[in-house]
Amino acid sequence: MSEPAADLRRLVNGYQVSQAIHVAAVLGIADLLVDGARGSDELAAATDTDPRSLYRLLRALAAVGVLREEDARRFSLTEVGEGLRSDADAPIAGWAAMIGRDYYWRAWGALLHSVRTGENAFRHVHGADPWTYRATHPEEAAIFDRAMADLTRRSHASVMAAYDFGRFDTVVDVGGGNGALLASLLPRHEGMRGILLDLPHAVRAAESVFAGAGIADRCEAVAGDFFQAVPGGGDAYVLRAVLHDWEDPECFAILTNVRRAMGPAARVIVIERDLGPANALPDAKFSDLNMLVAPGGCERTIAEYGELLARAGLELEESHAAGFGLHVIVGRMC
């Protein structure tokens, strides 16, 4: 097979790799290999799986560099596979566990419908948006919250290195899920206070997250809807991976409510990907497709985020590149 055709075939079969990694994440294989190599039969006993089938899964993952197969059907983690550990510095396990869920997989299966019609695939398949669906499926909400917490933990160090949050006394995390960002930010800044705003089912776990980070006495979790109102009193209003979930009219509504809550010296801090130029940044381009399939929003360029801010009566003050393709986009009152 010619090299271009081989490359194309690998891309076509990428779903097989993602599903294999999903299964390994759900089974917790990486955590079982923390102390070194173990045999596939031993791993099968620990995960209550069929020994022969598990071995076939493990050797496939070893062939793509997630694991390493050693003698006597023993397996160990590679540097790539370390990201599937629950205690990894840059964890991927939560995301891997979510993307293979049947409801999410089925939404991606309707990508053709979205491309043909411009309609959101998730709503087409499930008859509801992802937030409404997960509110009525608490087991899926818990898996999603873990995925979002993992992604936040994966990127927070680079975000906080890219921008000085220490100038703020009170940070409002708008749409911040279970509070993972505040749980990372506040321990770095003694005296800083945090306010978390999200839907009731999302903030339910915030109390334990804040307690685990030792910041429960400095944080308040507010159950609410950012389309209705945003808490006042903040010096900084953080929107991390929020605006890309929505089309422009919804983003305008969110930013307008943020602006109404802001004092004259407050800042709005948007943490999102930069869609970037043509023929580059595939992570951003495929994340954009994910927005089409699931939440119904889109990824944008830095300039387009500036335009959204301007529509809401704000202006782009500065932008800083962080790791993992993210940017810290800072807006202020005009």
Question: How many independent structural domains does the chain possess?
Answer: 2
Q: Is residue 176 in some structural domain?
A: yes
Do 80 and 170 belong together in one domain? Answer: no
- Single out the residue of 273, 224, 283 nearest to residue 244, CA to CA: 273
Q: Is 127 helix (H, G, I), strand (E, B) or coil?
A: coil
CB 233 within 8 A of CB 195: yes
Q: Is a pLDDT exceeding 80 seen at residue 29?
A: yes
233: Cβ contacts below 8 Å, ≥ 6 apart:
170, 172, 195, 261
CB 250 within 8 A of CB 324: no
Q: Is a pLDDT exceeding 70 seen at residue 49?
A: yes
> Residue 156 belongs to a domain with what CATH number?
3.40.50.150
Alpha-carbon distance 263 to 234, whole Å? 8
Give 89-111 pLDDT, tens digit per residue.
Answer: 889 999 999 999 999 999 999 99
Residue with tokens 């709503």: 123
| Per-position DSSP letters for 33-45, written without gaps between them | TTTS-EEHHHHHH
62: Cβ contacts below 8 Å, ≥ 6 apart:
68, 69, 75
Q: Is residue 96 in some structural domain?
A: no
Positions marked active-site: 244
Do 144 and 77 belong together in one domain? Answer: no
CB 97 within 8 A of CB 146: yes
pLDDT band at 170 (very low <50, low <70, confident <90, very high): very high
pLDDT band at 1 (very low <50, low <70, confident <90, very high): low
Return the number of other C-beta atoms located less than 10 Å from residue 52's C-beta.
10
- Could you tell me the residue range of the domain that residue 19 belongs to? 3-86
Angle between helices 40-47 and 51-63 (to 10 degrees): 120
Please tell me whether the overall predicted TM-score, pTM, comes out greater than 0.85 for this model: yes
Do 294 and 233 belong together in one domain? Answer: yes
Long-range CB contacts for residues 88-92, cutoff 8 Å, separation at least 24: 88/30, 90/154, 91/150, 91/153, 91/154, 92/25, 92/150, 92/154
